[in-house]
Each structure stands twice: as structure tokens, then as C-alpha cells.
């Protein structure tokens, strides 16, 4: 506190109310952190059942190696993990290029005006559409091909990938736009003045300096795609085998967790907890990477 505080003596009620409020705010902030620890602790305990750390790792290894089964001692997530990795690749290949392209178009090519505002509002709304609505869209358009049997893909991996790609597209666009906006316009003008074409300016100068922001957005959107369950349930992710191609039926890690968690046999709860540990390990690593990239490279551009 500064020395002037010595001369400042508010009424007792004002003196007390402030600190009480401060403590309340602090406690509110800590609920998140506390909850995260409780969550990890509870899942860890459910998965390990009092076993040692090494045994828990053995369990996770076993779960990662075996496929779905009616016997909780043999059940595992191999098909789900394989499906989720396929989906990760598909979303990466589909949503990131299109999302980044759309953001570059909106920020660098499209003149500001009414149309741009409308598209911008549309993207903001899309980002807040419930994921299950994307599931309905995927079901109607990709799985059933709008009723025509030639367009219908069935509950194939590619249908799931396309659905998730549409789901995360607005997130990619918004994150990339924010990253592009932090690039100072003097950089563009300098490159233009040296005779670079518009695309050269974007490709060689604007994009590289926006890359940390773009990467952060890309990783966060991929981790969102990995954790989604509802749209995949709608698309019909219920296979029990590891998919080998884009037209195979598939399943995903969170979908399998859901299936195991809704089993009546309590032994399956251990399996579900193990699956959640696998999923959280993957997701928290991805998100932490994204946050670190942003904090390391994003700060200078922001200030």
C-alpha cells in the first residue's frame, strides 16, 4: 500500500466490506482451480482403485491396447483412440486450411462494409451454435446425403470428420482473424512498397508474423474436436473395430467413454475413468501447448 493510505480512514463498514468482497472474489476464482483438482483426483481414484501408480499405468496401457468388449476386464479404447486420431487428422486437413483461408479473405481481401459485417456476425453466431445441431446437420447432409443414396456416406469416418470440421471452423476463423489483426499495417505497407504483390505480402510477411496466434487457435480447435461427443453420437459413431479407411464405420474416444459410463456394471466405471484419463492427458497437453505458444510469442504483438 502507498503511504497516502495512512491519511485515508474510511468508516468501519467501508473498511470491512472491501476486504470481505476481495476474499469472496478470490474464493470464487479458486473454485475453478479447486474443481480442476477435484476432477483429476476423483477420476484418478476411480481408475486406480487404490492401486499403485505403476499398476494404474499398466491399466491405461491395457485399455489403450484392447478394443470394446462386454467383459470389463478385457474392454479398452483401441478403436476409439484410433478413430479419434483419424478424426484429428481429418479436422486438421479440412478445417484448418479452410478456416485460415476464410480469415485471410475477411481480413485482407474483403473491403469493410455491410456484407463483411453480416458474414462476421454469421461466424460469431456459428461459433455459439450447440454442437448437437452440427450433429443433426452431419446426420442429414453427410450420413444420409439429403435423402439421395448416391451422396449418402453412411456412418463413415469421413462423415464424422466433415461434421467436426464444420463444428470447429468458426473457432479457427475467429482465432486467425484476431492473430491477423495484431500484425501492424506498417509491415504490409513496407512489403508493398518494395513491390511485393498482395499475396506475397500475406504469404511471406503477414502470415508468418501471425503464425503463433494461428497455431494457438488451431490447437485449441483441434482439442475441441477431440473432446466432442454429441455430434459423433448423432453421426452414428458406434463401431467396435479400428477403422482402416475413410469409408469405414468408426468410433471415437469420448463416444466409447460415454458408452462405458452408461453401463450398469460398476466395473465399467473403472474402464470409463481410465478412458477419461487418456482423453484428459491428450487434451491438457494440447491446450497447455497452445497456451504456452501464445504466452511466449503472442505478448509482444499484443502490447
Residues 158-177 close enough to bind other proteins by CB under 8 A: 166, 169-170, 173
Q: Among 60-68, 81-89, 139-147, 204-212, which window interacts with other proteins (CB under 8 A)? A: 139-147
Helices and strands in the chain, H and E counts: 12, 0
> How far, in Å, CA of 129 to CA of 137, rounded?
12
DSSP assignment of 256-273: HHHHHHT-SSTHHHHHHH
Binds other proteins (CB under 8 A): choice among 59, 131, 206, 210: 131
Tell me how far apart the terminal alpha carbons of the chain are, to the nearest angstrom: 27
Contacts of 84 (CB under 8 A, 6+ apart): 226, 252, 253, 254
Instruction: Quote the DSSP letter at residue 148.
Output: -
Considering beta carbons, is residue 61 or 97 the nearer one to other proteins? 97
Binds other proteins (CB under 8 A): choice among 64, 211, 291, 301: 291
Q: Among 63-71, 74-82, 241-249, 288-296, which window interacts with other proteins (CB under 8 A)? A: 288-296
Considering beta carbons, is residue 53 or 146 the nearer one to other proteins? 146
Q: Among 36-44, 51-59, 63-71, 239-247, which window interacts with other proteins (CB under 8 A)? A: 36-44
Considering beta carbons, is residue 125 or 244 the nearer one to other proteins? 125
The reply to whether 64 sits near other proteins by the rule CB under 8 A is no
> How far, in Å, CA of 84 to CA of 168, rounded?
15
Contacts of 66 (CB under 8 A, 6+ apart): 74, 75, 76, 78
Q: Which residues partner with 156 through β-bridges?
A: 249
The least CB distance from residue 248 to other proteins, in Å, is 20
The reply to whether 136 sits near other proteins by the rule CB under 8 A is yes
Longest dimension (CA), the chain: 82
Considering beta carbons, is residue 67 or 221 the nearer one to other proteins? 221
The reply to whether 14 sits near other proteins by the rule CB under 8 A is yes
Q: Which of residues 195-254 bind other proteins (CB under 8 A)?
A: 195, 197-200, 220, 223-224, 226-230, 233-234, 236, 254
Q: Among 33-41, 48-56, 69-77, 80-88, which window interacts with other proteins (CB under 8 A)? A: 33-41
Considering beta carbons, is residue 23 or 187 the nearer one to other proteins? 23
Which among 147, 218, 209, 239 is positioned nearest to 176, based on CA atoms? 218
Which among 213, 197, 228 is positioned nearest to 103, based on CA atoms? 213
| Assigned C-alpha cell, 130 | 450447440
Which among 63, 39, 55, 37 is positioned nearest to 268, based on CA atoms? 63
Q: Among 39-47, 54-62, 63-71, 82-90, which window interacts with other proteins (CB under 8 A)? A: 39-47
Number of residues that bind other proteins (CB under 8 A): 95
Amino acid at each position: 500500500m502507498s503511504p497516502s493510505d495512512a491519511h485515508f480512514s474510511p468508516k468501519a463498514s467501508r473498511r470491512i466490506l472491501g476486504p470481505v468482497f476481495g476474499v469472496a472474489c478470490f474464493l470464487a476464482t479458486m473454485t475453478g482451480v479447486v474443481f480442476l483438482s477435484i476432477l483429476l483426483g476423483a477420476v484418478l481414484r476411480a481408475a486406480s482403485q487404490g492401486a499403485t501408480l505403476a499398476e494404474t499405468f499398466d491399466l491405461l496401457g491395457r485399455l489403450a491396447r484392447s478394443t470394446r468388449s462386454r467383459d470389463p476386464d478385457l474392454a479398452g479404447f483401441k478403436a476409439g483412440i484410433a478413430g479419434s486420431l483419424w478424426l484429428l487428422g481429418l479436422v486438421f486437413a479440412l478445417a484448418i486450411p479452410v478456416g485460415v483461408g476464410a480469415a485471410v479473405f475477411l481480413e485482407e481481401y474483403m473491403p469493410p462494409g455491410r456484407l463483411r459485417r453480416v458474414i462476421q456476425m454469421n461466424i460469431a453466431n456459428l461459433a455459439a451454435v450447440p454442437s448437437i445441431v452440427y450433429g443433426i446437420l452431419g446426420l442429414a447432409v453427410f450420413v444420409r446425403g439429403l435423402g439421395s443414396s448416391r451422396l449418402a456416406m453412411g456412418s463413415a469416418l469421413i462423415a464424422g470428420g466433415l461434421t467436426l470440421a464444420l463444428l470447429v471452423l468458426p473457432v479457427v476463423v475467429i482465432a486467425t482473424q484476431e492473430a491477423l489483426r495484431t500484425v501492424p499495417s506498417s509491415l504490409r505497407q513496407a512489403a508493398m512498397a518494395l513491390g511485393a504483390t498482395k499475396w506475397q505480402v500475406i504469404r511471406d510477411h503477414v502470415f508468418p508474423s501471425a503464425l503463433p496466434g494461428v497455431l494457438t487457435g488451431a490447437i485449441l480447435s483441434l482439442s475441441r474436436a477431440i473432446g466432442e461427443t454429441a455430434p459423433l453420437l448423432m453421426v452414428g459413431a458406434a463401431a467396435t473395430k479400428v477403422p482402416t479407411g475413410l469409408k469405414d464405420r468408426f468410433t471415437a474416444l469420448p463416444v466409447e467413454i460415454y458408452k462405458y459410463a452408461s453401463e450398469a456394471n460398476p466395473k465399467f466405471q473403472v474402464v470409463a475413468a481410465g478412458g477419461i484419463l487418456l482423453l484428459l492427458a491428450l487434451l491438457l497437453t494440447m491446450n497447455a501447448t497452445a497456451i504456452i505458444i501464445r504466452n511466449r510469442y503472442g505478448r509482444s504483438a499484443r502490447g
